[in-house]
């Protein structure tokens, strides 16, 4: 299953790079993060590797479903992914804007929904210690993100924009640290939102939370594109 997922991502990347489709920028970053997280699972770094595998695969489902709907031109396309995918066709957007538009949408929207999916059935029966174990496994991904930043810089940013790579070199480690801090903050907020959805008393409450996530994600995306 995991090899199938990585191969699916790579096939899309290869095709998009050949067609000069800017959606390849985020997906290459996403594939690298996924591959490194799966390697950490294989290395025994997580408390519950089965749960983490399920989280990763469900997370990827949201991306590929959104992509499939968008490519078919269906009106049901999620507004947050519609915005990010539409931006890929804008020549004036730079590599970092394309990258962070995808990261924003996949983390601040898809990840919260993924957490609900993988937690809502088991959450009432988990002990406080087991809930903390889920959270610790979730937070370990922040370390893997930090370990992967330089690889993304070399394999994605430098490939797409050598000038930005030069700026990164001149800036030293500060920019990597700022990115990790931002993503860690986003993921902490998403955990809270995901648990809030799990603990919502009814479907209407969850729908309201989902709509709030969507609006917040869109606002972030608009700020990214205007930066």
What's the CA gap between 82 and 116, in Å, rounded?
22
DSSP character for 83? H
Query: Tokens representing 77?
Result: 């396309």
State the Cα–Cα distance between residues 76 and 63, nearest whole angstrom.
14
Mean of pLDDT values over 35-43: 96
pLDDT of residue 96: 85
DSSP string, 165-223: HHHHHHHTTHHHHHHHHHHHHHHHHHHHHHHHHHT-SSHHHHHHHHHHHHHHHHHHHHH
Q: Which residue has the higher pLDDT, 196 or 181?
A: 196
CA pair distance 108, 193, nearest whole angstrom: 9
61-71 per-position pLDDT tens digit: 999 999 999 99
Assign 175 a pLDDT band (cuts: 50, 70, 90): low
User: Cβ-count burial of 162 within 10 angstroms (0-12 exposed, 13-18 middle, 19+ buried)?
Assistant: exposed
What phi and psi, each to the nearest 5 degrees, are found at residue 120? Answer: -65, -35
- Whether 166 shows a pLDDT value over 50: the answer reads no
Mean pLDDT, the chain, as a whole number?
Answer: 89
Picking from 137, 121, 118, the residue whose alpha carbon sits closest to that of residue 129 is 137
Q: With 50 as the cut, is the pLDDT of residue 170 above it?
A: no
């Amino acid at each position: 299953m995991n090899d199938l997922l990585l191969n699916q991502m790579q096939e899309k990347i290869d095709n998009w790079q050949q067609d000069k489709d800017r959606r390849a920028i985020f997906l290459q970053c996403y594939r690298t993060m996924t591959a490194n997280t799966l390697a950490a699972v294989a290395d025994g770094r997580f408390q519950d590797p089965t749960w983490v595998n399920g989280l990763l695969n469900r997370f990827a489902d949201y991306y590929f479903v959104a992509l499939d709907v968008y490519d078919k031109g269906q009106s049901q396309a999620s507004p947050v992914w519609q915005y990010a995918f539409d931006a890929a066709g804008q020549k004036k957007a730079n590599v970092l804007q394309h990258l962070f538009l995808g990261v924003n949408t996949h983390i601040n929207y898809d990840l919260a929904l993924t957490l609900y999916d993988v937690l809502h059935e088991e959450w009432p029966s988990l002990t406080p210690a087991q809930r903390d174990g889920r959270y610790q496994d979730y937070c370990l991904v922040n370390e893997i993100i930090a370990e992967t930043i330089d690889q993304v810089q070399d394999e994605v940013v430098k490939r797409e924009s050598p000038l930005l790579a030069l700026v990164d070199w001149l800036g030293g480690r500060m920019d990597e640290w700022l990115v990790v801090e931002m993503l860690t903050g986003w993921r902490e907020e998403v955990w809270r939102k995901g648990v809030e959805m799990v603990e919502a008393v009814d479907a209407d409450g969850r729908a309201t939370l989902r709509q709030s996530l969507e609006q917040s994600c869109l606002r972030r995306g608009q700020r990214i594109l205007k930066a």
